[in-house]
Amino acid sequence: MDILLVLIALVVSMWASLNVKSTFKKYSKVYSSRGYTADQVARKILDENGLYTVGIEHVRGDLSDHYDPRDNVVRLSDTVYGQTSVAAIGVAAHECGHAIQHAEDYAPIKVRTAIIPVTQIGSNLAFPLVIIGIMLGSSNILTTIGIWLYVAVVAFQLVTLPVEFNASSRALRTLEGCAFLDYDENKKAKKVLTAAALTYVAALFSAIVTLIRLILMSKRRN
């Protein structure tokens, strides 16, 4: 049963990763008819929302784009910064969506930020605690702690979904409303953001599978 669960989670994760990469690659070859670069679009979106102090930086990497609330900066990767493709513009707008979420104190992103420390502990210690608890064999305390720590990981992945889907929705509405892309280009940008969102669905599925494995390990001990 454990092996089957691991294989299913692995296949789902690999498919989601390959899907987002192939979708981005496909639409990175489709260029905006209006000629805006992704960083120009990002600057305009931020300014339209009064976020004049949020910076935009070029960061190395492929699809390493993110918004950093600590430095208050949107970082765009090599395949996005300065590019005029609908894929690049869609990704840049999505990251601006996260900046707007933080500025508006969007509830799910506040919850996600709050549980990050517990999530980091859970992802590192859950398995060791469960295994040690099973080896000791005299108490359920360690296995129970390990399982509950990993529940926090699942909760983090769960609350990540509305954060990411909301950022994409904001991005698509802005791109359409501000006419950065035409109708057909917006549809293609949506495909890129949908593919990206599916990676978070896959991450949640993988986390749930891992939690089930921990519970099954604990049950077998008993």
| pTM, to two decimals | 0.88
Active-site annotation holder among 48, 57, 95, 104: 95
Burial of residue 70 (CB within 10 Å: 0-12, 13-18, 19+) is exposed
Band (pLDDT 50/70/90 cuts) for residue 131 is confident
95 is catalytic: yes
Distances (CA, A) of 145 to 9, 10, 112, 164, 213: 24, 26, 21, 29, 15
Task: Give the model's pLDDT for residue 85.
Answer: 95
Task: Give the model's pLDDT for residue 221.
Answer: 60
Task: Give the model's pLDDT for residue 138.
Answer: 55
**Would you say residue 222 has pLDDT above 60?**
no
Instruction: Give dist(CA 161, CA 212) in Å, integer.
Output: 20
Q: Domain locations in the chain?
A: 2-221
Instruction: Please indicate whether residue 136 or residue 1 has the higher confidence score (pLDDT).
Output: 136
Mean pLDDT, all residues of the chain: 91
Model confidence pLDDT, tens digit, residues 33-43: 999 999 999 99
Model confidence pLDDT, tens digit, residues 71-87: 999 999 999 999 999 99
Task: Give the model's pLDDT for residue 217.
Answer: 82
Instruction: Give dist(CA 183, CA 188) in Å, integer.
Output: 9
